[in-house]
A and B are shown apart, each in its own frame.
Chain A
Amino acid sequence: MRAALLTVLLALLAVAAWALTRPDRLPDGALAGLEGDAARGEAVFWASGCASCHAAEGATGEALLVLAGGRALVTDFGTFRAPNISPDPTHGIGGWDLAAFANAMLRGVAPDGQHYYPAFPYASYRFATLQEVADLKAFMDGLPASDRPNEDHALPFPYSLRRGIGLWKRIALPEGWAVPGAMTEEEERGRHLAEALAHCGECHTPRSRLGVMDRGRWMAGAPNPSGTGRIPGITPAQLGWSRGEIAGYLATGFTPSFDSAGGTMAAVVASLSRLPQEDLQAIAAYLLRLPPAP
Chain B
Amino acid sequence: MKNRLKVLRAERDWTQARLASELDVSRQTINAIEKGKFDPSLPLAFRAARLFKLSLEEIFEDE
Partners in one complex: no
- Seen from chain A, the residues whose Cβ lies within 8 Å of a Cβ on chain B are none
- Seen from chain B, the residues whose Cβ lies within 8 Å of a Cβ on chain A are none
